[in-house]
Structure 1
Amino acid sequence: MTRPQWRMPAETDPHDCTWMAWPSSGYALGEAADDARRAWASVALAVAEFEPVRMVVDPAAVPHARKWLGSDVELLEAPLDDAWMRDMGPTFVVGPQGLGAVDWVFNGWGQQSWARWEKDARIARQVAEWAGATLIDSAMVNEGGGIHVDGAGTVLVTETVQLDPGRNPGWHSHDIEDELRRTLGVRDVVWLPRGLTRDYGEFGTRGHVDIVATMPSPGTVLLHVQPAPAHPDFEVTRAIRLALPAQWRVVELLAPERLEDEDGPVDHSYVNHLVCNGGVVACTFGDPRDAAALEVLASAYPGRKVVGVDARVIFARGGGIHCITQQQPKVEP
């Protein structure tokens, strides 16, 4: 078997920096613009305590970004539609040529009616250029929030994202797997049936895996668990658990106690965190279960400082901390 040219490292591997995008328009900014700016800035400044942060900013929004971020975050200007860097940005990989950047096709989470993505679809290529990475083109529609790797050959995906007719019509599971092996250097593709219920609403992604499960180390999965039978994710998370390899160790991250908001059942999840150099930046929700979740994360990532950031404003816009960040791995000389 030919050895893959590229490999996506685990998020726990050393980073050169974390990339983000500043909310300047679109659904991320919303009507309460300062709430969004405050939330994105809080995440950026928390990450900056551990590693450099490079923020892509629409030229018209530079004054706002400077006001909220000060001099602690590097700003780079490019036109933007929205601010979900995990999804529109490149997926970084490493190989014999050094740093690589996979440029998936981005089409607004399966051509959502409300989404605008003409500018965002060009961001991966621009970020790759700034990072000095070799560009790896892909014909597959995908987003960074739709994949999680362990760095040792396994990737988690969901059937409702990669096989979404709005993303990859005519593609079969073996086509998806072949492309993931080519671009990420994985061997094993673990298919989960779906994502959380709220993620199938008007502003959802139709099932991103990074709100459901992640692998802090090979053979171990941190799994979002909804313990309340009245919540629709009670059955969803039970089905997801059954889809995991039987030999894996499952560490439960219980959902917050709050079950709903004005729009229905919430998808608040502690799984949607970012691992940094020496740290973990985690979602909190002003909830009684916040402290226990941070303790679980500290145990899952020994030796790292776990910092909680209130993510309710970000979740109200359709994502979390992992969704608005993208790590760039350090390339060993």
Structure 2
Amino acid sequence: MPHEGDRHERTWLAWPTAGYTLGDTAEEAEEARTTWAAVANATAEFEPVSVVVDPRDRDIAPRYLSGSIELHEAPLNDAWMRDMGPTFVRSETGELGAVDWVFNGWGAQDWAQWDKDSLVGAQVASWSGAELISSGLVNEGGGIHVDGEGTVLATDTVQLDPGRNPGITKPEIEAEFARTIGATTTIWLPRGLTRDSERFGTRGHVDIVAAFARPGVVLLHTQRDKSHPDAAVSREIRAALESATDAAGRALKIIEVPAPATLRDDEGWTDYSYINHLLVNDGVIACSFGDAHDAEAAALLADAYPGRRVVTVDARPLFARGGGIHCITQQQPAL
């Protein structure tokens, strides 16, 4: 699996169509569509974009999306392409592959539906022309982050979740990572953020906690306010990263990225995170939150990814629905 910073052929998204993602009112639906479109349209300034649209939205989505964006139709429950879509890989001889994990609604959660979304990975693989690589592991794209050189970040609370993979062991998971995404070294982080570990979360996705800026360098979500429970989480994850070495045997350089200053919303402790950004060709699509730390975070990302233009999108409507910019996108690498 290439690092996200490698050149892309395109980026894939899914269109919000129903349920909590779309919302209960016309205003909520407009907010969802506008925000998903803002991410898609910003990405389309840098590279081709494909959006999977439920047939019921075939006349709605084009009103929001740039004319350059390619649309595909498939039935959808939800709109988190990172998790239901395939994880793209390249073979040693340059062929495109697409790993189709088992998707079961983030551990068969009682609020989730996935009968349609569980089929999207194979469908996107077909549209992309990739060779399908089927996996029996219950996993999501948001549950892993790679350096492109054989190292993968994962969390104990996702791949080892009894609702996902009951009875499975770390060596078995690591063997499947090696088979599917070519990861020879798995760095296990103990958990994800507090809000993401509550009822409507993913139980600890890594992509709002830590991300490889490049091989050997990890961006770490850091909660500076000790009143927020994620302050302790940040310290625990940093300790795990400090004790780890990557596939090349290197100790990791850690760049702390501050959590937004906003600590709470109407539902409790926030899990707002600048780590949940998307790398695109020559750019970064980054989260903003109308927050005092937005500018500092954007500057840190610009420094971490020299030569890339940072474009921000207000991600509060995404996080209110359970994810962020990285969560709704999936990159397809160039060959």
TM-score of the superposed pair, with normalisation by structure 2: 0.96
Asked if 1:319 is matched to 2:323, the reply is yes
For residue 202 of structure 1, report the CA deviation from its aligned partner.
2.1
User: AA paired with 1:189?
Assistant: T
CA contact (8 A) 2:41 2:66 kept: no
The answer to whether the 8 A contact 1:54-1:75 is kept is yes
Read off the aligned partner of 2:40 and give its amino acid letter. A
Shift of 1:70: 4.1
Instruction: Choose the corresponding residue for 1:40, options 27, 31, 36.
Output: 36
Tell me if the contact between 2:80 and 2:329 (Cα under 8 Å) persists in the aligned partners: yes
Determine helix, strand or coil for the equivalent of 2:111. coil
**Residues 245-256 of structure 1 mapped to structure 2, 5 A cutoff:** 245-246=242-243, 247-256=251-260
Aligned-partner residue type, residue 283 of structure 1: C
Number of equivalences = 324
The amino acid of 2:181's aligned partner reads L
Residue 264 in structure 1 maps to residue 260 in structure 2: no
Q: Secondary structure at the match of 1:306?
A: strand
Q: Deviations over 1:109-168 (max 9, x none)?
A: 000101110000000000000000000010000000000000011000000000000000
CA contact (8 A) 1:224 1:253 kept: yes
List 4+ stretches of structure 1 deviating above 3 A. Answer: none
State the alpha-carbon separation in 1 of the partners of residues 330 and 141 from structure 2.
8
Q: Which residue of 2 aligns with 1:30?
A: 23
Match of 1:5 in 2: none
- Structure-1 separation of matches of 2:176 and 2:211: 21
Q: Does 1:293 align with 2:290?
A: no
Q: 1:11 is matched with which residue? A: 4
Give the alignment of 1:47-66 within 5 angstroms: 47-66=43-62
Q: In structure 1, what is the Cα distance between the partners aligned to 2:173 and 2:23?
A: 34
Query: In the alignment, is residue 189 of structure 1 matched against residue 186 of structure 2?
Result: yes
- The aligned runs of 1:147-296 (5 Å cut-off) are 147-246=144-243, 247-296=251-300
> Residue 255 of structure 1: CA displacement?
0.4
Separation in 2, partners of 1:86, 1:261: 25
Tell me how far apart the structure 1 counterparts of residues 15 and 196 of structure 2 sit (CA, whole Å). 22
Structure 2 residue runs of 5 or longer lacking an equivalent are 244-250
**Deviations 1:25-73 (Å, cap 9, x if unpaired)?**
1321122111100100000000000001100000001111011114131
1:302 aligned onto 2:299? no
Q: CA RMSD in A?
A: 0.8
SS of alignment partner, residue 327 of structure 1: strand
Asked if structure 2 preserves the Cα contact closer than 8 Å seen for 1:26 and 1:116, the reply is no
2:45 and 2:149 map into 1 onto residues whose CA distance is 28
* 1:90 and 2:83 aligned: no
1:138 aligns with 2:135: yes
For residue 106 of structure 1, the aligned residue among 103, 108, 111 is 103
Matched residue type, 2:69: V
> For the residues of structure 2 that align with 1:266 and 1:72, how far apart are their CA atoms?
35
Report the CA distance between 1:245 and its aligned residue: 3.8
Sequence identity of aligned pairs in percent?
61
On the 8 A contact 1:19/1:53 being kept in 2, the answer is yes
**Aligned amino acid, residue 161 of structure 1:** V
